Amino acid sequence: MSKQEVCDVVIIGAGPSGAIAASILVQAGWNTVVLERETFPRFSIGESLLPHCMEFVKKAGMLDAVNENATKLGFQFKNGAAFFRDGARSEFDFEDKFSEGPGTTFQVKRAAFDKVLADQAAKYGADIRYQHRVDNVVTTEDSATLTVTGPELSYELKAKFVLDASGFGRVLPRLLDLEVPSDLFPRKAIFTHYKDNIAKDAPFDRNKILITVHPQIEDLWYWLIPFSDGTCSLGVVARPECFNDTQSLEDQLRAFINQDTNLASLLSEAEVLQPARMIGGYSANVKSLYGPSYALLGNAGEFLDPVFSSGVTIAMRSAVSAAELVTRQLKGEKIDWQKEYAEPLQKGINVFKTFVTSWYDTSFQNVIFFQSEGAEIKPMITSILAGYAWDEKNPFVKDAHRGIRMLTKLCAD
């Protein structure tokens, strides 16, 4: 092991939250090292961004880079979400929302998108080290020391603060024994990319993610995320017992597609571009989102469910908030991480969680497919679907549980 290196901030993971946090920190003047286990580009899901994400991309100084690369990388303009259930359709236009802020975004291939963000952070001065794995960490009130294995050697890296942006890798929760079980029901997802070959006159809007509910199994659903180059991401999410371990993942995915007439028609000519993958046990939680000289960002802290594409939004928001707080702390301010970071972030997470839970018990599904165009209510729901789960001017954010109960009663009446 070589001699110990020293920097101001270490970030574990170069995905969206890590790249955004690094960009903000280096622009504030802090010597920031990003340790990334993989080599970019690398595959990842979480491809349907929400409009609220664009505020954080802009704050990190990355919006121009994303816009300039969108066309050549197949990023698809996105202005809303479409839902389908057993013949019923419902659409939400994100520009017709209650909350202020962007109303459009992109559906992205994460391998390319994440590399754009990481490259931009590096241009600002972040020291991004690929194929560097964190094996151990020791934190005190004023520093963190990480044991790191790189391609050629192992070394220690000491910093004044460490941010965990490792996503599903959940490095600090594992090393510091922070993990606790999620209270969400365990589910699995099978997914892949297709050349979709969807006919231009088909009843399908490429500017929107399509979320389809299985015609018989109400808590089984599909995502169809189109990209601008004629390809798409397709996945199915269900309880573990709904899957058949005797079949290949590709055969299971195609069988699920064929069980819905609309999806089967849309994807009748689809060509598989890569082997199907499965993830399970992704819903997770932790004892605390922060501790002495560290904080957890995005999925490293709490991940809910892919149904409303909230993961990247939560990750980006946590990155901006934590980076700004770290800057203040390193300048000598006393930061209350509970009141200034954990509690505000958790408010929006809890809003998403309420709607995720009500999606699976079908009460929010019934709201989605309720055909009355409530002039006042629909924009408020649209705001949450667009990611604005922290806007407490929205009654359905301020008291999400009461809002769901009210909406459920309205639909029943």
Note whether residue 357 is domain-resident. Answer: no
Residue type, 383: S
Same domain, yes or no: 165 and 246:
no
Q: What is the CATH number of the domain that holds 231?
A: 3.30.9.100
Name the domain boundary from 280, 299, 331: 280
Give the pLDDT confidence of 143-199 residue by residue, as tens digits. Answer: 999 999 999 999 999 999 999 999 988 999 999 999 888 888 889 999 999 999 999
Note whether residue 322 is domain-resident. Answer: yes
Same domain, yes or no: 296 and 150:
yes
Same domain, yes or no: 243 and 305:
no
Number of structural domains (the chain) is: 3
Note whether residue 253 is domain-resident. Answer: yes
Note whether residue 218 is domain-resident. Answer: yes
Same domain, yes or no: 15 and 154:
yes
Note whether residue 85 is domain-resident. Answer: no
Q: Are 270 and 231 in contact (CB under 8 A)?
A: no
The CA distance from 360 to 363, in Å, is 8
Give the global pTM.
Answer: 0.95
Averages of pLDDT over each 10 residues, the chain, 413 residues: 85 98 98 97 93 98 98 97 95 96 98 98 98 97 96 95 94 93 88 96 96 96 97 96 94 97 97 93 85 95 85 96 98 97 96 94 90 73 96 94 85 72
Helical spans, DSSP H, in 242-374:
249-258, 261-266, 310-330, 337, 343-360, 363-368
Name the domain boundary from 348, 370, 404: 348
Same domain, yes or no: 299 and 392:
no
Note whether residue 83 is domain-resident. Answer: no
Note whether residue 209 is domain-resident. Answer: yes
Same domain, yes or no: 276 and 395:
no
Same domain, yes or no: 287 and 398:
no
Name the domain boundary from 246, 280, 314: 280
Give the pLDDT confidence of 223-233 residue by residue, as tens digits. Answer: 999 999 999 99
Phi, psi of 411 (to 5 degrees): -65, -40
Same domain, yes or no: 233 and 377:
no
Q: What is the CATH number of the domain that holds 297?
A: 3.50.50.60
Same domain, yes or no: 321 and 404:
no
Same domain, yes or no: 344 and 366:
no
Same domain, yes or no: 337 and 387:
no
Note whether residue 97 is domain-resident. Answer: no
Range of the domain at 407: 362-412
Give me the half-sphere count of Cα atoms (radius 13 Å) on the Cβ side of residue 276: 18
Same domain, yes or no: 198 and 177:
no
Give me the half-sphere count of Cα atoms (radius 13 Å) on the Cβ side of residue 50: 25
The CA distance from 8 to 316, in Å, is 21
β-strands 294-296, 154-164 pairing: parallel
